[in-house]
Amino acid sequence: MTAQGTAKDALFAHDAGTAALDQVMMRLHWDQETVMPRGAADQRAEEIAALETVIHARRMDPRLADWLAEAEPADAAEAARIRWIAEDHGRAVRLPADLAAELARMSSLGQGRWVEARKAEDVAGFLPVLERIVALQREAGAAMAAGGDAYDALLAGYEPDITAAEIAEIFGRMRPRLVDLKDRVLASGRQVAELKGPFDTAAQLALTARVAQRFGYDMDHGRIDLAVHPFSSGSGADVRITTRVDEADPLGCLYSTIHETGHAAYEQHVDPAYRLTRLGKGVSMGVHESQSRIYENQLGRGRAFCGWLFGEMQTEFGDIGVPDADAFYAAVNRVHRGFIRTESDELHYNLHIMMRFDLERALIAGDLAVGDLEAAWNDRFEADFGVPVPAPSKGMLQDVHWSAGLFGYFPTYSLGNVYAGCLFAAMKADLPGLEGELASGDLGPATAWLAEKVQRHGASKRPRTVIEEATGTGVTEGPLLDYLEAKFGALYGV
């Protein structure tokens, strides 16, 4: 075996071990959010910190530099794998090991404290933990940025190849059309009936499991559990999702599940040859969100699929308070000034994200103190949405992200919406029978198109390249905004 072959073999074996440990870390987080005893939170934080120390040491292993210098890829996939390992190594060597461990420990503790604070509406009790997390994130961002922008360094952990300034430009172009359409819809005076329950928990979970499988979720390699904040975890042969249930509102459970199924399907459909390698997962959170958002919105909230789902709802629950499929479609897409991001309509959703993006950039830059966050949130929300925030659980405590140290994650939701708009336009052009298939509850052609065009590639291509090759066009917010104009213009007669 040549020296180059030995270096590549050693590099890839090391990568496989790191990828396996990443999966173990995800299991620890999944357990923490689903079935872990509440009293185990402090111990779990130490366990996660210890494991992060091991993973971080692997990523900054000095042998990697030599292996990377000598390894010669045999094909494009191996070249991509080597590039990603090099990027991960570069980030890791700039982040001190003790800081990485403390970030992991505090993020684990923060999630537990957030759950308690959210339940008790206790911002003051949560602030000391959040202040510590923000301070650590500032330090980590500055270390990884090496003189550059700290927020950009954090963002690169979720969406490489883009800067916060570029995202701000995209949001700046989106905002006027979104606000104008939202205002015209709210001023239309059109009333939309809401569903009436109650909707039994067990029946909701049974229906959502069937719907998830309709969308291609493989239950032989996955499971659905309950959590305070729905999420997806894992890749390859073990991909788990969670949802939450409200007996007064079955749409939250249904569409949270469909959303997480989009994430899970992406991970389940990555080429098995990439399993337990740096390529064996979604390439970025923006591309990941494109899958969850297109599953949830363009497919799941579309008129055709809603017609099928209305029949399933009647079968499961009987009278649901709306008379027909058209009324159900309108109820699913009702535009309202809601407080909760995950339950918001498609028009308000991106305004939620733009607000969080601005707030977290200010936090990391030091322009906004953590102690002033609640007031800043409430002021911005009332300015953007026209209603005051009634309680912290409907305001700054509603999302898990900051308590888990996920700074730089939020903008990928709207970037995912932009990607999804491009993908859906291409999908409709490629699948002329799509509407009829969705009307019969057949998601197979749509999800197969996404699996082939996006999901199977894993991280073997760069994020923007995946979308551009899937659609045959450049990435632009135009298709998303055109889709929203057409859909809600028709629904509300504006």
Three-state secondary-structure class, residue 306: helix
Q: Do residues 415 and 166 lie in contact, with contact meaning Cβ atoms separated by under 8 Å?
A: no
| Single-letter code of the amino acid located at 379 | D
End-to-end CA distance of the chain: 69
Beta strands 238-243 and 222-226, pairing class: parallel
Burial call 454-467: b when 16+ CB within 10 Å, e when fewer? bbbbbbbbbbbebb
Distance CA 367, CA 361 (A): 8
CA 103 centroid distance within chain: 20
CA 222 centroid distance within chain: 18
Distance CA 460, CA 207 (A): 35
CA 335 centroid distance within chain: 22
- The closest of 278, 267, 282 to 71, measured between CA atoms, is 278
Torsion angle (degrees, nearest 10) of CA 413, 419, 425, 426: -140
Adjacency order of strands within the sheet including 232-235: 222-226, 238-243, 232-235
Distance CA 155, CA 415 (A): 12
441: left (phi over 0), alpha (psi -120 to 50) or beta: left
How big is the chain by its Cα radius of gyration, in Å? 22
Residue 163 is inside which H or E element, if any?
none
Say which of 260, 296, 346, 374 is annotated catalytic.
260
Distance CA 473, CA 477 (A): 12
| Torsion 302-181-162-479 (CA) sign | positive
Q: Do residues 243 and 256 lie in contact, with contact meaning Cβ atoms separated by under 8 Å?
A: yes
Catalytic, 70? Answer no
Q: Do residues 161 and 464 lie in contact, with contact meaning Cβ atoms separated by under 8 Å?
A: yes
Burial class (CB in 10 A: 0-12, 13-18, 19+), 354: buried
Active site residues: 260
